[in-house]
A and B are shown apart, each in its own frame.
Chain A
Amino acid sequence: MTATAGDQPGLDVREVSVSFVAPRAQTSGDHDPAGRVVVLDGVSLSVSSGEVVALLGPSGSGKSTLLRVVAGIVTPDSGRVFVHGLDVTERPTHLRGIGMVFQDNQLFPHMSVLDNVAFGPKMAGVARSERTERAARWLRRVGLAGFEDRRVTDLSGGEAKRVALARALAAEPAVVLLDEPLTGLDRELHDRLAVELAKLLHDAQVTTLLVTHDQDEAATIADRTALLAEL
């Protein structure tokens, strides 16, 4: 989706805090009933409309949790999330207009590549011929023309990642979240995809927040880098 709102940031995260009850398995022996683990403590972050921001931080620092709060998959203890100035904190995930590429893609194994990519438009009520056309177009843009009828279980790691990206973007979300999008790919593929990804996101002018632990990757893809520890 192209940027519309004037001064409003595309994504605005204000004072978000998240804590979990420590799972019993990890607190062997002594269960402190109030033993909560604080994952995010008052985190604020703003991404301008159409801007690509990379969030850096070591593994386990809560980067993924922040994305999940933005997507509405994790409910924060406190804090608000705004999309183009609109408070979406209380909205269910499917009404937020936020797309997400999961670290392990989460392609639907019972659907073809095309049906995966066309799923978002289908949920939005786009007519069959149009959503097929739109999905095919996105598959071309990620370099997977001709993959429409393939089974997603037969894809290579790089192909699956491109399908996940095409699927998220074909839904035309207001904000896209990328969770360690290039982790687990081999070096050469990683570098090539990083460049492609940067071009794709900027061409689409979509507000993007990506998390990574790789500084080079962040520099290649993003307009700006933020460190979670400093937020």
Chain B
Amino acid sequence: MDGAGARVNRLPRWLPVALAVGPTLGLLVFYAWPFLTLVVEAVTATAIADTLGRASTWEVVWFTAWQAAVSTLATIAIGLAPAYVLARFEFRGRTVLVGVLTAMFVLPTVVMGAAFLALLPDSLDRTVWAVIGAHVVFNLAVVVRVVGSLWEHLPTDMEAAAATLGASRWKVATRISIPLVRPAVTAAATIVFLFTFTSYGVIRILGAPGTRTIEVEVWRRATQLGDVGGAAVLALLQLVALIAIVSWSTVAQRRHAQALGLLATSARRRPRTAGERRFVTLVAGAALLVAAAPLVALVLRSFSTPTGWSTTAWTNLGRSEIRPGIRIGIDPVDAVVNSLTNAAWATSFAVVIGALASLAIVAAGRAGRALDGGLMLPLATSAVTIGFGMLITFDTAPVDWRASWWLVPVGHALIAVPFVVRTCVGVLRSVDPAMGDAAATLGASPARSWRATVVPYLWRPLAVGAALAAAISLGEFGATSFLSRSGGETMPIAIEQLLGRTGSVLQAQGFALATLLAATTVVLVVLVERLQTARNGPTR
């Protein structure tokens, strides 16, 4: 209902304003204020000079950039073949492969780190190669989805035409199929680069002292070294780099954009020749192996002890004493309870704020764009920066909220709201305005007709948004690592701490907890997919 209908039938002005008050206040207090505090108070001239003048800063920047570049190139190189096979062919196990790849992408970063820790031999465990491997598996789904969706829409006859002109399979791939999806490859590469450039959870688990990204360095300086100014300078430096990358990618994609003869969807078909069957089997099998192996390793390691297979790690999850008198300081069961409580509150906050914001954005038409854009900002800012900003803002009376139970859920909600809004706004915008006109001709006032024809479409996408918010909250590690306090550890925090200690008992418990978190996340995401594929319609 963007810019709805005739002027005489406009919604009353107070309606979008009233809806927008809550989301706007929340955004100002919990995002804008901390961010400005970070920029204004922490970033001093001395901090800038000190930080930029230090060689170690540039070592971190260099490491961040090159590991992201290598991770991106490897992900694209490895992801193109499965993207093609999934876009073009129908085969047994296709759904399973798509599911596994998607599952890997939605797993919390800490779980992915844990899975690679479980998979790799000790000699590779805390190296840059482990980090890059985890990044590749994590992001394969991006290439498959982004590039694959373009391939699905390219006419297969284009490739047949090249073949009639004498192009072999290899030439068709290198001269036609791959060049045609170049804009999508650029887009996918940008997304993967952004994810790996700001990698945090994976590196906290798998990284060694020499392998720190800017994100990890922000955390280390702020919380371990007490160098708040240096951390803030690094956070801003990263933000500038991210803006530069996104701008470059936008320009590059526009330059390579081609008017393609896009079809609705080219039908996927079964492989026909023996060669095709071999190709599909090989590519799909390899992709499945690469994506599933870390998860399988994770589960297996939670059952393995130096003396053989055992369920000790699972059965002892609740005991904080590992031996009489020896405590580990973290209680995995408490962590599960904390995570669930946080997730429940974060989901409630995100759903209420997201629902109000979505209705306001749609009702306000053009004016709603400012709120829409504002609510997306937390997504563009890294979670670490958000947590860091909140930590240094809400630490003095009357806003000393560090001990408040709701601070962590609010941080999570800030990160989840953009997802709720995106899910809802799309559906609400697609409601046919003619329905509202029909209601008006039947005597409904503009506000009444809006309530009768638009609002009922909110509930289903909101349910999707709620499940997404819960999954995000359960796996959130970046902001939480700044905001959670001793005794309030969430599952990701507990996993990182358990895996960071020596001793096979603690390691196995870490793997068990990671398995639990992985399973919960996957269940939530399956729920999201189910809700989304169910017919969108009004619900009461």
Using CB atoms and an 8 Å cutoff, list the residues of chain A in contact with chain B. Answer: 23, 68, 71-73, 75, 92-96, 98-100, 102, 104, 106, 108-110, 119-120, 123-124, 153, 167-168, 171, 173, 177
A120 near B157: Cβ-Cβ < 8 Å:
no
Question: Nearest residue in A to B165 (C-beta to C-beta)?
Answer: A120
Q: How far is the CB of A64 from chain B (nearest CB, A)?
A: 10
Chain A residues closer than 8 Å to B158, beta-carbon distance: 106, 108
**B179 close to chain A: CB less than 8 A:** yes
| Bound CA span A98–B164, Å | 6
Question: Nearest residue in B to A108 (C-beta to C-beta)?
Answer: B176
Question: Nearest residue in B to A170 (C-beta to C-beta)?
Answer: B165
Interface string of B160-184 (1 = CB under 8 A from A): 1111111111011001100110100
Chain B residues closer than 8 Å to A68, beta-carbon distance: 160
A119 near B167: Cβ-Cβ < 8 Å:
yes
A109 near B163: Cβ-Cβ < 8 Å:
no
Chain A residues closer than 8 Å to B272, beta-carbon distance: 75
B261 near A109: Cβ-Cβ < 8 Å:
yes
Q: Which 5 A-B pairs have the closest CB atoms?
A: A93-B163, A123-B166, A106-B161, A120-B165, A153-B259
B261 near A104: Cβ-Cβ < 8 Å:
yes
B162 near A100: Cβ-Cβ < 8 Å:
no
B165 near A119: Cβ-Cβ < 8 Å:
yes
**B258 close to chain A: CB less than 8 A:** yes
A110 near B258: Cβ-Cβ < 8 Å:
yes
Interface residue from B157, B171, B258, B259 paired with A106 (Cβ < 8 Å): B157
Interface residue from B165, B176, B267 paired with A167 (Cβ < 8 Å): B165
Q: How far is the CB of A59 from chain B (nearest CB, A)?
A: 17
Chain A residues closer than 8 Å to B258, beta-carbon distance: 109-110, 153
Having A94-B164, A108-B158, A109-B260, one finds 8 other A-B pairs with CB under 8 Å, namely A92-B168, A92-B169, A94-B169, A96-B164, A108-B161, A120-B165, A123-B166, A168-B165
Which chain B residues in 40-89 approach chain A with CB under 8 Å? none
Q: Beyond A108-B158, A109-B258, is A168–B273 a contact (Cβ under 8 Å)? A: no
**B374 close to chain A: CB less than 8 A:** no
B160 near A123: Cβ-Cβ < 8 Å:
no
**B99 close to chain A: CB less than 8 A:** no
**B155 close to chain A: CB less than 8 A:** yes
B169 near A123: Cβ-Cβ < 8 Å:
no
Q: Beyond A168-B164, A171-B166, is A102–B157 a contact (Cβ under 8 Å)? A: yes
Q: Beyond A104-B155, A110-B179, A120-B166, is A93–B260 a contact (Cβ under 8 Å)? A: no
Most chain B CB inside 10 Å of its own CB: which residue of A75, A104, A108, A153: A108
| Bound CA span A173–B164, Å | 9
Interface residue from B157, B166, B267, B273 paired with A94 (Cβ < 8 Å): B166
Question: Nearest residue in B to A171 (C-beta to C-beta)?
Answer: B165
| Bound CA span A102–B168, Å | 19
Question: Nearest residue in B to A120 (C-beta to C-beta)?
Answer: B165
| Bound CA span A219–B59, Å | 76
Interface residue from B161, B171, B180 paired with A100 (Cβ < 8 Å): B161
Q: Beyond A102-B157, A106-B157, A153-B259, is A119–B162 a contact (Cβ under 8 Å)? A: yes
| Bound CA span A23–B167, Å | 30
Chain B residues closer than 8 Å to A171, beta-carbon distance: 164-166
A106 near B180: Cβ-Cβ < 8 Å:
no
Question: Nearest residue in A to B275 (C-beta to C-beta)?
Answer: A92
Interface residue from A23, A75, A123 paired with B165 (Cβ < 8 Å): A123
Which chain B residues in 134-173 approach chain A with CB under 8 Å? 155, 157-158, 160-169, 171-172
B166 near A124: Cβ-Cβ < 8 Å:
yes
Chain A residues closer than 8 Å to B163, beta-carbon distance: 71-73, 92-94
Question: Nearest residue in B to A154 (C-beta to C-beta)?
Answer: B259
